[in-house]
Amino acid sequence: MNDRTLTLYTHPMSRARVARWMLEETGLPYDAQVLEYGTTMKSPEFLAINPMGKVPALKHGDTVVTENAAIGLYLADLVPEKHLAPAVGSANRGPYYRWISFMGPLEQAMMSKHAGTTPEPMSAGFGTVEDVTNALDAAIGERDFLVGDHFTMTDLLVSAYIDWYLQFKLLEPRESFVRYVALHSQRPAAKRAGELDDALMPKDKQS
């Protein structure tokens, strides 16, 4: 890791909470810049960083990374000593990429369910909601870790997304999902990240 500054562009009521957890797991120093919906997220300055005008975005020197999956992959490689990613060339590297990337089909399926749309399985990248749910349930089963025998960035991203969709009652609260989320949400880095973001919440949203 060189001395380039890590900057997280975030909002406490966004998917950037996941990126915050990622950064806390790495133990790397970072700055957090809180942006607001409809104003600073759409400012010319931020659109030059992320033309989508959405958070999270991560800036590391001149490098910009957006999308939680990409941010997780990037950060894990910055701290190999943390073993958040399997070694390149190892048998676990394939499942590591697979299940991190699987959060794309999961999100598509959940948003389709939320919108009440039912695209044809042949045309939908995720197949069906049942396909996605069953595949994820089978992958987790009674396992604590999706890849290998210890916590990796895969477990962080997958458990965070499952938790998100369980809270919004879009994902069936299957036993494997509830257990897996409960296990990883208790990690010290997850708690620290949550406390930092909760402190930034509007006063009327704070518990």
Asked whether residue 176 carries a pLDDT value surpassing 80, the answer given is yes
Task: Please state whether the predicted TM-score (pTM) of the whole model is above 0.85.
Answer: yes
Tens digits of residue pLDDT in 32-52: 999 999 999 999 999 999 999
Q: Which of 181, 196, 187 is nearest to 11 (CA)?
A: 196
- Sign of torsion over alpha carbons 180, 165, 11, 206: negative
The structure tokens listed for 92 are: 């676990």
Tokens of 19: 């990126």
Integer Cα distance of 66 and 36 in angstroms? 17
Judge whether 84 and 101 are in contact, CB under 8 Å. no
In the predicted model, is pLDDT for residue 169 greater than 90? yes
Percent with pLDDT over 90 in the chain = 88
2 has a pLDDT exceeding 60: no
- Distance separating alpha carbons of residues 124 and 198, to the nearest angstrom: 36
pLDDT tens column, 118-129 = 777 777 778 899
Distance between CA atoms of 76 and 83, rounded to whole angstroms?
A: 8
Beta-carbon contacts of residue 125 (< 8 Å; ≥ 6 apart): 104, 105, 108
What's phi and psi for 155, nearest 5 deg?
A: -65, -35
Which tens digit of pLDDT belongs to each residue from 69-85? 999 999 999 999 999 99
Average pLDDT over the chain, rounded to whole?
Answer: 94
Q: What pLDDT is attached to residue 106?
A: 96
Structural domains for the chain: 6-82+190-205 (3.40.30.10), 93-187 (1.20.1050)
Which residues neighbour 57 within 8 Å (Cβ) at sequence distance 6 or greater?
A: 8, 9, 46, 49, 50, 64, 65, 66
- Rounded to 10°, the helix 103-115/93-101 angle is 20
